Chain A
Amino acid sequence: MSTANHATAHGGHHHAHHYDSAEHEYNTSKFGTWLFLATEILMFGGLFVGYILFHEKYPEMFHDGSTFLNWRLGALNTVVLLISSLTMALSIYYAQVNKKNLTLLNLYITLGCGFIFLIVKYIEYTHKFHEGLYPGRWFNPTEPEVQEMAKHLLDQGHGHLNMYFSFYFTMTGLHASHVITGMGLITWLIVRTHRSEFGPQYYTPLECVGLFWHLVDLIWIYLFPLLYLIG
């Protein structure tokens, strides 16, 4: 275990006037970020609660719905996000040991992983749309077997098949919007890193955006089994 130099007030980043030191600002910023993550947990969590409650009510419908998801693509996306979490953490590591180029490389890889994730999602979504599996009132399956499945579920009192896709699109859609936001933030970090704004004395934005990005990964860690595997 090694330690960095103290991030002290002299030299490097100039901290805001109402803080005693750069260290003080760093700790407060981290705390603030965690508070923000708490809000995200409760917001996304609401969707998870809704999902679990309806899953308990209509287990057959959720099982049938999940057969439409490609677990290989889901697993690929899981691996992609896990790796992006690694590279995000590594970008902070390299800032802590003053290696700007490696910081940049890892940020670029993280961004790239985000792109791959979105591309896979795009493939999944368009595939579903092609088969008429739209969310909500526009659910209109083109395949007769799917129409039959939906009718069968409804007749048996096992719920409406389109509810499954409502949850699928809402949850993955909200998650994807956070991936996009994260990528925007990472791009901002890349610009600032190019400008040599970060180093062992100051890397607070890397840390805070990193925490957000890890949260995005955490949510997917739960979304993947819930949507793709359990059904």
Chain B
Amino acid sequence: MATAAAPSGKNYLNEKSGLWSWLTTLDHKRIGILYMIAVMTFFAIGGTFAMLIRLELFSVGKTIMDARTYNQVMTFHGAIMVFMVIIPGIPAFLGNFILPMQIGAKDVAFPRVNLMSWYCLLIGASIAFFSLFYNGVDTGWTFYTPYSITTQNGTIMMVVGAFIIGFSSILTGLNFIATVHKLRAPGMSFWRMPLFIWALYSTALLQVLATPVLAITLLCLTVERVFGIGIFDPKLGGDPVLFQHFFWFYSHPAVYIMILPAMGVVSELIVAFSHKTIFGYKAIALSSVGIAAVSFFVWGHHMFVSGQSEVAGILFSFITMLVGVPTAIKVFNWVATLYKGSIRFDSPLLFALGFLFLFTIGGVTGIMLAVIGVDVHFHDTYFVVAHFHYVMVGGTLMAIMGGIYYWFPKMFGRMVNEFWARISFVFIFVGFNVTFFPQFILGAMGMPRRYYDYLPEYESLNKISSVGAWTIGTGFLVGLFVIIHGMLKGEKAGNNPWGAKTLEWQTSSPPPHENFLVQPVVTAGPYEYR
């Protein structure tokens, strides 16, 4: 096992210098950092749009913008967060950096494809943002027809941008599947892989199988707008519900692309910070694949009131409830792992614990929405908005923060300031609940989503929600400073500050270009804490 740093003190960060060496790098670690910068930038932009939304919704009537502008702001917030932050967030950033190291490989299977996937994200995002010069987009990130066919603005640009970003996701997934199958170190069977790898692998299956259907959907929408081909347009004999079938066939598995890697991170964090092996390794590993598989059969639960038949609705409703089972297995196993562990409440674990609490709420409300009779009332209300923010922000974003703080020493060879990291957690966790819990109540009271204005009885809860948003924003700003300060001035870290057992911690921090000085040979499972 390689434990020493490269003798010359060279690592992937200082090996070659200059912007050009970064923009043409084939090193998965550098590409991971490139993704980190891109995703954080997009998060800042998407987050700004979120702040604008909450500012507008602070009070009844017009607060800072008119309805037309509001529709664009909410569309951009959704599209940016979904396509440019949460989907690539963990796989392309943390996954790219950590996956090859955790399996003892020198790089991903196809490094040039990896770099190309980053450029796809950037080019797609640029084209999507360009739509702002053409009156933006006001369809919501879901581009439902027939409105998205007729609305006169930059919809095509955002759709084309999303198409290209989709290729970024496909290529990342393709790369990861090939890497996991072909580049594991000697002795690392599938059953000795860390759970983060199982999570990324399951995610990659979804990226490869589901995203192409989004591609053809967006292509058809574009052709529909340009040529008027009429597949989705009722005036031409088309079926707008068919658009939704095609769109959600991808977009439902997409939400599992968003959450599965987060669950993988949580597995790593809970194990490392209870200094104890995972409870139920095989159950968690297989539940990841199980969730990925079942996710393909439930997309119609987004369409219960769309005009879809009741028969299809009942079928989708039933299967959706099944997805709660493997998810619950994970939650129980994580709690069981913590039990009698030697727990350190460092900031990464705080985010993992936050995940457990918030994701459980988000998941349970998802099961509520799965019940078709309940969904008829909650569909397109703030109840749904609260549900998905609980799982995506309370879930994925918490996991990203925990993952960043956890792997920070490995990536940069420095520790973050633990005190301020914990402060960021407190602001994010508290702010999040203040923002989104009232939205469950608002939804139950009947407040519709995507509306620019609302009835006076909803105002007080909206005010509370907006105050919460400023609190989360503060938390993320603190987090940003923690990260930047850590990169520049953090205390130097050793190879394995957390005493963790997975392979990435057996090499220097930051790692050398080749990851390991000597090829690791694996003789045991990933979490052999004794």
- How many angstroms between the C-alpha atoms of A39 and B117 in the bound complex? 15
A166 at the interface (CB under 8 A from B): yes
- How many angstroms between the C-alpha atoms of A226 and B133 in the bound complex? 42
Please, which residues of chain B bring their CB within 8 A of the CB of A54? 231, 237
Please, which residues of chain A bring their CB within 8 A of the CB of B363? none
Q: Do A46 and B170 touch (CB < 8 A)?
A: no
A sample of 22 inter-chain contacts (CB < 8 A) reads: A17-B106, A18-B107, A18-B183, A19-B183, A27-B182, A28-B109, A36-B174, A39-B170, A39-B208, A41-B212, A42-B210, A42-B213, A47-B216, A47-B220, A50-B242, A53-B242, A54-B237, A135-B223, A136-B229, A138-B228, A162-B236, A167-B229
Residue of A nearest to B209 (CB): A42
Q: Do B229 and A170 touch (CB < 8 A)?
A: yes
How many residues of chain A have a CB within 8 Å of chain B?
38
- Quote the shortest CB–CB distance from B100 to chain A (angstroms): 8
Of the candidates A18, A27, A41, A137, the one having the most CB atoms from chain B within 10 angstroms of its own CB is A18
Residue of A nearest to B228 (CB): A137
Restricting to B208-251, which residues have a CB under 8 Å from any CB of A? 208-213, 215-217, 219-220, 223-224, 227-231, 236-239, 242, 246
Q: Do A50 and B220 touch (CB < 8 A)?
A: yes
Residue of B nearest to A19 (CB): B183
Residue of B nearest to A159 (CB): B237
A43 at the interface (CB under 8 A from B): yes
- How many angstroms between the C-alpha atoms of A162 and B110 in the bound complex? 43
- Quote the shortest CB–CB distance from A173 to chain B (angstroms): 9
Q: Do B229 and A135 touch (CB < 8 A)?
A: yes
B199 at the interface (CB under 8 A from A): no
Restricting to A3-48, which residues have a CB under 8 Å from any CB of B? 16-19, 24, 27-28, 31-32, 35-36, 38-47
Restricting to A133-169, which residues have a CB under 8 Å from any CB of B? 135-138, 159-160, 162-163, 166-167, 169
B404 at the interface (CB under 8 A from A): no
- Give the interface SS of chain B, mostly helix, strand, loop or mixed: helix
A119 at the interface (CB under 8 A from B): no
Q: Do B177 and A46 touch (CB < 8 A)?
A: no
With A24-B182, A136-B228, A166-B230 already in contact, the answer to whether A35 and B212 are too (CB < 8 A) is: no
B178 at the interface (CB under 8 A from A): yes
Chain A 38-76 interface 0/1 with B at a Cβ cutoff of 8 Å (1 = within): 111111111100100110001000000000000000000
A86 at the interface (CB under 8 A from B): no
Q: Do B109 and A166 touch (CB < 8 A)?
A: no
Q: Do B212 and A40 touch (CB < 8 A)?
A: yes
Q: Do A43 and B216 touch (CB < 8 A)?
A: yes
Residue of A nearest to B249 (CB): A46
- How many angstroms between the C-alpha atoms of A170 and B229 in the bound complex? 9
A174 at the interface (CB under 8 A from B): yes
B181 at the interface (CB under 8 A from A): yes
Q: Do A58 and B213 touch (CB < 8 A)?
A: no
B36 at the interface (CB under 8 A from A): no
- How many angstroms between the C-alpha atoms of A54 and B111 in the bound complex? 42
Please, which residues of chain B bring their CB within 8 A of the CB of A53? 239, 242
- How many angstroms between the C-alpha atoms of A137 and B177 in the bound complex? 42
- How many angstroms between the C-alpha atoms of A10 and B212 in the bound complex? 39
Please, which residues of chain B bring their CB within 8 A of the CB of A162? 230, 236
B397 at the interface (CB under 8 A from A): no
Q: Do B238 and A163 touch (CB < 8 A)?
A: yes
- How many angstroms between the C-alpha atoms of A3 and B123 in the bound complex? 45
Please, which residues of chain A bring their CB within 8 A of the CB of B215? 43
Please, which residues of chain B bring their CB within 8 A of the CB of A160? 230, 236-237
